[in-house]
Structure 1
């Protein structure tokens, strides 16, 4: 090896060390997920006897059959998809409209509205569960998916509104002014011009809302307490917890099933997710 080659190797050495450190960090970060997937293919005894080993002795695919059929996780997954998709649609439209009005329209009390929205960030979510349940019960929506959707989408979602505010402020006003001159109204300007331009932020809000709704536990538990058939996947995990024993391998299989849609959505929208965060912060 020549002297020039040695110099090039020494110059690249810090990058190799950084890459190795990042690889180790990534492995540590994803190891719990890999362990959960491996545990879903083990027997209940292997979960404890194998320890940190990721390779099952004989893959137990019946864990997935038990989770899907006996634990009714197929029904819970359908309920979760319905609640999550409906909640995401309502939150995106509502927060986009609120962000557009705050960012592009100068109205009396705008600063007060912003102050109230930011103040709600410091209110714990548990404090609102009692009035939510009381209101849903008075409206006859306590034990229904509709009531759960309205409860999940009716929160402030301040982070989503602020993302839209930051993004809409960076869009030139000439776009909306020219559309108004051509006779377009508020609805036309918003749905045909502003909302399509905010695709990166919409992807970001979609991912964040999807994650929070999909993983929600306390509110779906309260709304389905007397209707087990309306449970979501997070509440459905209770089916694997018995009075004296816990089906750990079945729970791992159910958790793996429930995480697959989340991983698929993030992989599909990760580019827009990063662009939306960067664009809102930059604006």
Structure 2
């Protein structure tokens, strides 16, 4: 009995330490966003001596945060929708069809997941968008946000493969086409995987900085929140506006927190499905 209680106590203590380490930077950011710039830069106190809630209003007005937030939502939601369409169709084709070069393509795609190309892909991507005349448009940015990495494809691919092919065969006997099976059978059964892929895609688009910076450098009105947040670094007089930057960072966290809360049920469904499998 005692060893069991000891192991339980150790587990809860470990989880508590992890929670503190994760939440501490968030708490510091929220408290810092409620301080004056002078007090924040001085770093002499943990709690604000005077709670500056007007920092959020100043951030929203001074940095035109409403424009940046709308742009980020358009890019993230647009990229999420296109990613779900592309990834689910590709995963369905790979899971249900046999064609020449399938194993080779899967092998290449898998190996490329472990190679970080980073900024090397920016130039060809930019040149492609320029050739298509989409480098100064919202559509071009949404195309660049499509993908969310190879992990999204393999999540959908593994989930579709776990669905019995007997359902496909029964539908084919009734006269259902390949596309009809995808719409009426596969998509409803893969909702948990779609939720996870959508979450990863939205997070990737919302937090993306380098690609939007390059593509919107000459178009300030098209800049997302991550790029606009950097504009708060210096004020009119050239002084660093740390308190406004923290307020903007806290604002940028809100949509992701809402998404994670709403997607909690999807995570549970994926975990239960994994345990059953």
Q: Residues of 2 paired with 1:253 and 1:141: CA distance?
A: 33
Aligned to 1:213: 205
CA contact (8 A) 1:201 1:277 kept: no
Cα deviations by residue, 1:235-255 (Å, 9 ceiling, x for unpaired): 011211228432111011111
Q: Residue 249 of structure 1 aligns with which residue?
A: 243
Mapping of residues 160-175 of structure 1, within 5 Å: 160-175=152-167
- Alignment pair present for 1:190 and 2:190: no
Partner of 1:111: 103
Instruction: Give the deviation of 1:93 after TM superposition.
Output: 1.1
The CA RMSD over aligned residues, in Å, is 2.1
Aligned mate of 2:253, from 255, 259, 264: 259
Q: CA deviation at 1:52?
A: 6.6
Query: What residue in structure 2 maps to residue 142 of structure 1?
Result: 135
Check the 8 A contact 1:203/1:276 in 2, yes or no: no
Deviation at 1:12, TM superposition (A): 2.6
Say which SS state the counterpart of residue 111 (structure 1) adopts: helix
Corresponding position of 2:55:
63
TM-score after normalising by structure 2: 0.92
Paired residues of 2:41 and 2:242 also in contact (CA < 8 A): no
Q: Which structure 2 residue ranges, 5 or more long, are not aligned? A: none
Whether 2:220 is the aligned partner of 1:228: answer yes
Shift of 1:203: 1.0
Aligned partner (choices 117, 120, 131) of residue 124 of structure 1 = 117
- Residue of structure 2 equivalent to 1:3: none
Cα distance, 1:74 vs. partner?
Answer: 0.9
Distance 2:274 2:136 in 1: 38
1:195–1:247 distance in 2 versus 1, CA, 3 Å: same
| Aligned counterpart, 1:276 | 270
The alpha carbon displacement at 1:275 in A equals 3.7
The equivalences for 1:22-37 within 5 A come to 22-37=15-30
Q: After superposition, give the CA deviation of every residue in 1:84-129 in whole Å (9 maximum; x if it has no partner).
A: 0010001011101111111121222110110221233214131111
User: Residues of 2 paired with 1:262 and 1:240: CA distance?
Assistant: 21
**CA separation in 2, counterparts of 1:191 and 1:97?**
10
**How far, CA to CA, are the matches of 1:156 and 1:119 in structure 2?**
16
Using the TM superposition, give the Cα deviation of residue 10 of structure 1 relative to its aligned residue in structure 2, in angstroms.
7.6
Distance 1:89 1:51, change over 3 A: farther
1:147-158 → structure 2 map (5 Å cutoff): 147-153=140-146, 155=147, 157-158=149-150
TM-score by length of 1: 0.90
Residues matched between the structures, number: 274
